[in-house]
Amino acid sequence: MKTYKIAAIPGDGIGSEVISAGVEVLHAMATREGTFSFQVDHFDWGGEYYKQHGVMMPENGRDLIRHHDAILFGSAGHPEIPDHITLWGLRLNICQPFDQYANVRPTRILPGITSPLRKVQGPELDWVIVRENSEGEYAGVGGRVHRGQALEVATDVAMFTRGGVERIIRFAFKLARSRPRKHLTVVTKSNAQRHAMVMWDEVATEVAAEFPDVTWDKVLVDAMTVRMVMKPESLDTIVATNLHADILSDLAAAVAGSLGIAPTANLNPERNFPSMFEPIHGSAFDITGKGIANPIGTFWSSVMMLEHLGEKPAADRLMSAIERVTGDKRFHTPDLGGTARTADVTAGVMEAIHAANA
Ligand code: IPM
Ligand code: MG
């Protein structure tokens, strides 16, 4: 029997609540399938670790998880620590050195969930956003000079490499080809950003030639926000820069009903390093410790993890279990307007896993 080694990093805020729910569900999945199991190692990195050690994760931290099959991540962010420290010290400190350059964010309106877009039902909205996850606006290039003085200058330089752009656009075309619609929308801002974004467009045109069976179009990021709201059915697979996709994926989560549902995969497609799976909601300190965090984002991220591990039938079964549970309003947490608790949703999904016989 195959044993997958998973590194669980709950992080801060509701991270530990949703990750323990996720781990329970993964073990239940393994029991249900009977062909694989999980060995889950927990790492207590994050804000509390920082308060004790002055760093978000140990210096040799990446060596401790490098040989795991996948990473399940909760969230990073702490009310007493500046956000740029928590982000760069943990999440980006894993994503970037592990070259998880493809950040994949599916959006669908799951059964039982109502979109704030009046007319949109489930099937009209089925998107996957591919976020460039290794460079661009998050390259970390820049600095501050004359700190605190009137002359102070601060820069954040967006870095785009031809290789980096090519690999993410190619990844997105491949993903688009694997989906029924075979359509890719390339998000850009080449009217205002006349260097890197113009190269981005050129690379898209070049790579598109390798995918004659995929149709594609190009849209400016500001116009994209309008299109997502007004014509959601016109979109399928979407590729955008690190910052553009960061913003668009929050909009996507909102139109799909709740940020509490949205999943992410940070993929190293070449599999030289482990990939990392996480809900996109963040730490949510306002509800931490109350037992009401929505674990669906973590469960859906676990579906993506199972797919990445090659366990497609198990992934499909877990997704159906999730959809069964979202379809029943008794299992809606407060972010969805319900009163269910994390434990109720978890129990519901576990029951659906065992009940499913397909
Ligand atoms: C996301 C988040 C992060 C990001 C935050 C926590 C810095 O918003 O994963 O979308 O911007 O990358
Ligand atoms: Mg974001």
Of the three residues 205, 223, 256, the one that is the final residue of a domain is 256
User: How far, in Å, CA of 305 to CA of 309, rounded?
Assistant: 6
Do residue 282 and residue 251 come from a single domain? no
Do residue 132 and residue 155 come from a single domain? yes
Q: What is the CATH number of the domain that holds 298?
A: 3.40.718.10
> Is position 110 within any domain?
no
**pTM score over 0.85:** yes
Q: What does the pLDDT look like over 55-65, one tens digit per residue? A: 999 999 999 99
The pLDDT score that the predictor gives to residue 124 is 87
Residues present in the chain in total: 358
Q: What does the pLDDT look like over 242-280, one tens digit per residue? A: 999 999 999 999 999 999 999 999 999 999 999 999 999
Name 296's Cβ contacts closer than 8 Å, sequence gap at least 6: 110, 260, 261, 322, 325, 326, 345
What's at 233, amino acid-wise?
A: E
The answer on pLDDT for 122 being more than 80 is no
Do residue 251 and residue 350 come from a single domain? no
How far, in Å, from the CA of 134 to the mean position of ligand 1? Answer: 13
> Is position 108 within any domain?
no
- Ligand 1, atom nearest to 249 Cα: 10
Backbone angles phi, psi at 290, to 5 degrees: -90, -10
Ion ligand 2 neighbours, Cβ < 5 Å: 246
Mutate to test the pocket of ligand 1, among 105, 246, 264 (most ligand atoms within 8 A of CB): 246
Ligand 1 contacts CB of residue 282 (under 6 A): yes
Q: What is the extent of the structural domain holding 202?
A: 115-256
Ligand 1 contacts CB of residue 26 (under 6 A): no
The pLDDT score that the predictor gives to residue 61 is 97
Residue 148: CB atoms within 10 A of its CB come to: 7
What's at 190, amino acid-wise?
A: S
Q: What does the pLDDT look like over 78-114, one tens digit per residue? A: 999 999 999 999 999 999 999 999 999 999 999 999 9
Do residue 268 and residue 246 come from a single domain? no
> Is position 131 within any domain?
yes
How far, in Å, from the CA of 249 to the mean position of ligand 2? Answer: 7
Tokens of 313: 């039938």
The pLDDT score that the predictor gives to residue 356 is 66
Do residue 90 and residue 183 come from a single domain? no
Ligand 1 contacts CB of residue 136 (under 6 A): no
Of the three residues 213, 228, 256, the one that is the final residue of a domain is 256
Please choose, from the candidates 62, 76, 84, the residue with its C-alpha nearest in 3D space to the C-alpha of residue 268: 62
If you take atom 10 of ligand 1, which residue's CA is the nearest one?
246
Ligand 1 contacts CB of residue 344 (under 6 A): no
The pLDDT score that the predictor gives to residue 357 is 57
- Indicate the DSSP class of residue 329: G
Residue 249: CB atoms within 10 A of its CB come to: 23
Please choose, from the candidates 346, 309, 321, the residue with its C-alpha nearest in 3D space to the C-alpha of residue 331: 346
Of the three residues 200, 235, 256, the one that is the final residue of a domain is 256
Do residue 252 and residue 269 come from a single domain? no
Please choose, from the candidates 255, 230, 7, 25, the residue with its C-alpha nearest in 3D space to the C-alpha of residue 129: 255
Q: What does the pLDDT look like over 309-339, one tens digit per residue? A: 999 999 999 999 999 999 999 999 999 999 9
If you take atom 8 of ligand 1, which residue's CA is the nearest one?
246
Q: What is the mean pLDDT of residues 212-234?
A: 97
Name 150's Cβ contacts closer than 8 Å, sequence gap at least 6: none
- Which range, 66-70, 114-118, 352-356, has the best average confidence (pLDDT)? 66-70
Do residue 96 and residue 139 come from a single domain? no
Please work out, in degrees rounded to the nearest 5, the angle formed at the alpha carbon of residue 297 by the alpha carbons of 34 and 112: 95
Partnered with residue 216 across adjacent β-strands are 184
Do residue 232 and residue 123 come from a single domain? yes
What's the Cα-to-Cα distance from 13 to each of 50, 229, 280, 285, rounded to whole Å? 14, 31, 13, 5
- Ligand 1, atom nearest to 278 Cα: 9
> Is position 121 within any domain?
yes
Do residue 242 and residue 123 come from a single domain? yes
SS3 206: helix
Name 321's Cβ contacts closer than 8 Å, sequence gap at least 6: 349, 352, 353, 356
Q: What does the pLDDT look like over 181-220, one tens digit per residue? A: 999 999 999 999 999 999 999 999 999 999 999 999 999 9
If you take atom 9 of ligand 1, which residue's CA is the nearest one?
280
User: How far, in Å, CA of 251 to CA of 260, rounded?
Assistant: 13
Do residue 312 and residue 341 come from a single domain? yes
Q: What is the mean pLDDT of residues 62-79?
A: 96
User: How far, in Å, CA of 347 to CA of 325, rounded?
Assistant: 10
User: How far, in Å, CA of 337 to CA of 116, rounded?
Assistant: 12
Tokens of 79: 């009310």
The answer on pLDDT for 5 being more than 60 is yes
The answer on pLDDT for 120 being more than 90 is no
> For the chain, how many structural domains are there in total?
2
Question: Are 324 and 352 in contact, with CB atoms under 8 Å apart?
Answer: yes
Please choose, from the candidates 267, 263, 266, the residue with its C-alpha nearest in 3D space to the C-alpha of residue 279: 263
Do residue 125 and residue 82 come from a single domain? no
Please choose, from the candidates 218, 265, 279, 263, the residue with its C-alpha nearest in 3D space to the C-alpha of residue 244: 218
Do residue 166 and residue 288 come from a single domain? no
- For the chain, give the mean pLDDT: 96
Question: Are 129 and 245 in contact, with CB atoms under 8 Å apart?
Answer: yes
Q: What does the pLDDT look like over 157-189, one tens digit per residue? A: 999 999 999 999 999 999 999 999 999 999 999
Residue with tokens 């990073």: 76
How far, in Å, from the CA of 132 to the mean position of ligand 2? Answer: 13
